[in-house]
Structure 1
Amino acid sequence: MKILITGINGFVGSNLVQDLKNEHILYGLDIITPEIEGVRHTYSWDDLDKELIDDIDTIIHLAGIAHDTKNQTKEEDYISINTKLTQKVFDYFLKSSASKFIFFSSVKAVADFVQEKVLYEDVVPNPKGPYGVSKLMAEDYIMKHLPTNKSVYILRPSMIHGPGNKGNLNLLFKVIQSGIPWPLGAFENKRSFTSIDNLCYIIENIVIKNIPTGVYNIADDEAISTTELIHLICSVLNKKARVWRLPKLLISIFASIGSVLRLKLNTDRLNKLTENYVVSNSKIKKALDIDSMPVRAKDGLKKTIKSFSNC
């Protein structure tokens, strides 16, 4: 297959290149256009405007602005990149020779908080922040312009992680590595993660298989609590887990102050670390005709954690 990957220089794009380069012909589309091993050519956005891109079979649209937990990204920037740029790439897909379009949305496009025990694809969307709203607007545009002769997939991954990723997991690792006790033991929660290995496995199968057009949640099979995650980090570090059960109200007050002062512990980050956010992956497994993901949640997390400490 000839595959065009937008945002190819990012974390997910870089991993997809390693996963797909031996079996497919890859092209990139990004702001910067360095030579990448395994990629035939990386185009600029001007090349898209000028329609200078070779004929391709599949477009994987990754380019976008990630959720900013410091709340420093402007709403218009989210709309410009996550919504309008997606519309532009999708319009190009509609008139191109490509037969498949894979759009990376987010579970945040439908829910900042999971009201029921598990988040399914049929939930009524209710995003709260500009990030989720911008992703949902992109989804709506795609769904309103679905072609009858091509396949379109909107993927909503839960928190993606893997070696080289510097998100909230890395911050949590540094806190535990420093020897600071984990103060959030009073929060009982379960949340879903997405191993980059499982994500690449899904994308590769969507590329080569004919599955129904639609919206699909992406997640590992097992949900993990923050306390379990702390113990997993400590096992990698060969440390005894130090978990404190400080009053929830006290922690919430500290987080509120952190939001005002733009500290690392703020309300948004506290919610990410302590919320219940369990995502069902049953629909994508049924579409791919598989019983389970190839990588267990704890194994994927351990691989990511080890990369933080170069273990």
Structure 2
Amino acid sequence: MKTTITGASGFVGQNLSRYLEENGVEVDRLSLRNPAWELAETDAVIHLAGKAHDTKNTSEESEYFKINTDLTNKLFDGFLKSNAKDFIYFSSVKAAADTVDGILDETCKSDPQTAYGKSKLQAEEHLLKQNLPEGKRLFIIRPCMIHGPGNKGNLNLLYKVVEKGIPWPLAAFENKRSFLSIDNLNFLIEKMLISELPSGIYNFADDNPVSTNRLVTLIAEASGKKPKLYKISVKSVMSMAKLGDKLKLPLNSERLKKLTESYVVSNQKIKTALKIENLPLSAEEGLIKTIKSFKSKR
């Protein structure tokens, strides 16, 4: 089997490419940065390339639609004209909702509030409206926060805070969040490629959510430190975050939301379709693996 992957130089792309090759899949890395790109002969297209959500809010909204929507549509047009069987589009749970009340599954009505989420949803809607020839499949993947060894982002930021012995001041926020380890992502994609899975939208997440307070504890334990969980009043913390918005400080409203909101994503649809009871790694096992990778780089 031959698979074409866009965005192969990114964190997910590098890991997924290596995993598939180790499991006997030939991988063609297609860069869409080259205006003259062409879709070569392949069995499946995995579209990872895109503009990620900018938590500093410095990006022009048009950039999201140019890259996440227009470029995706162009690539899909090439797929429809090709002999490839599968098109896997990596969208995002943010195409469905920026905040979640309860558990997010594939039946929830989409209502994104950011340009990032809206651009992802517009691409989804365009792809779903196209006439899919017989023998072809379209998978729209909505992953939640992806992490793994080599990953940068909020997990790494949180690790630095805890590893330095700085008390976690947000313990007053009670939440649960879904995560997705790169190992579980790789496992699911490989299973999809060799399965008879029908076209559709599928959420990707680890089996169980984890609270931020529990995550802080895991980081502390992996670092050989005692967890320091301080419960500063929610009102005071939110005031500090608003000040961070104005002064461009590390703690701003967007980052506070990411660190403290509840965002639980159901993965039951994909597991049921693939006849999987549990993913290879539990949420905590995956997080510990990522956390230990931060420590090993010191």
TM-score bin (small chain): over 0.9
Task: State how 1:5-84 maps to structure 2 within 5 Å.
Answer: 5-22=5-22, 23-30=24-31, 44-48=34-38, 53-84=39-70
**Residue 142 of structure 2 contacts residue 201 of structure 2 at CA under 8 Å; is this kept in 1?**
yes
| Shift in Å, 1:47 | 2.5
SS of structure 1 residue aligned to 2:264: coil
**Residue 31 of structure 2 contacts residue 37 of structure 2 at CA under 8 Å; is this kept in 1?**
no
| Shift in Å, 1:173 | 0.5
Looking at structure 1, the residues matched to 282 and 223 of structure 2 have their Cα atoms a distance apart, in angstroms, of 20
SS of structure 1 residue aligned to 2:290: helix
CA RMSD of aligned residues (A): 1.1
| Shift in Å, 1:45 | 4.3
Looking at structure 2, the residues matched to 68 and 236 of structure 1 have their Cα atoms a distance apart, in angstroms, of 29
Moved over 2 A (4+): none
SS of structure 2 residue aligned to 1:21: helix
1:93 paired residue among 79, 82, 105? 79
AA matched with 1:24? V
Looking at structure 1, the residues matched to 160 and 50 of structure 2 have their Cα atoms a distance apart, in angstroms, of 27
1:269-300 deviation digits (Å, cap 9, x = unpaired): 11111111000000000111110111110000
Residue of structure 2 in register with 1:168 after alignment = 154
2:118 paired residue among 133, 152, 156? 133
**Residue 6 of structure 2 contacts residue 32 of structure 2 at CA under 8 Å; is this kept in 1?**
no
AA matched with 1:175? V
The aligned length equals 295
Looking at structure 2, the residues matched to 98 and 193 of structure 1 have their Cα atoms a distance apart, in angstroms, of 31
| Shift in Å, 1:195 | 0.4
AA matched with 1:136? L
AA matched with 1:195? S
SS of structure 2 residue aligned to 1:309: helix
Residue of structure 2 in register with 1:41 after alignment = none
Residue of structure 1 in register with 2:237 after alignment = 251
Looking at structure 2, the residues matched to 65 and 259 of structure 1 have their Cα atoms a distance apart, in angstroms, of 22
SS of structure 2 residue aligned to 1:59: strand
Q: Does 1:159 align with 2:149?
A: no
Residue of structure 1 in register with 2:253 after alignment = 267
Residue of structure 2 in register with 1:144 after alignment = 129
1:181-228 deviation digits (Å, cap 9, x = unpaired): 000010000010000000000000111111010000000001000000
1:56-111 deviation digits (Å, cap 9, x = unpaired): 11000000011111111110110110111111111110101101000000000010
1:227 paired residue among 213, 222, 244? 213
SS of structure 1 residue aligned to 2:265: coil
Residue of structure 1 in register with 2:203 after alignment = 217
**Residue 29 of structure 1 contacts residue 45 of structure 1 at CA under 8 Å; is this kept in 2?**
no
| Shift in Å, 1:146 | 4.2
Residue of structure 1 in register with 2:92 after alignment = 106
AA matched with 1:27? D
| Shift in Å, 1:122 | 0.8
Residue of structure 1 in register with 2:172 after alignment = 186
SS of structure 2 residue aligned to 1:153: strand
Looking at structure 1, the residues matched to 32 and 254 of structure 2 have their Cα atoms a distance apart, in angstroms, of 29
Identity %: 51
| Shift in Å, 1:46 | 1.2
Unaligned runs of 5+ in 2: none
| Shift in Å, 1:30 | 1.6
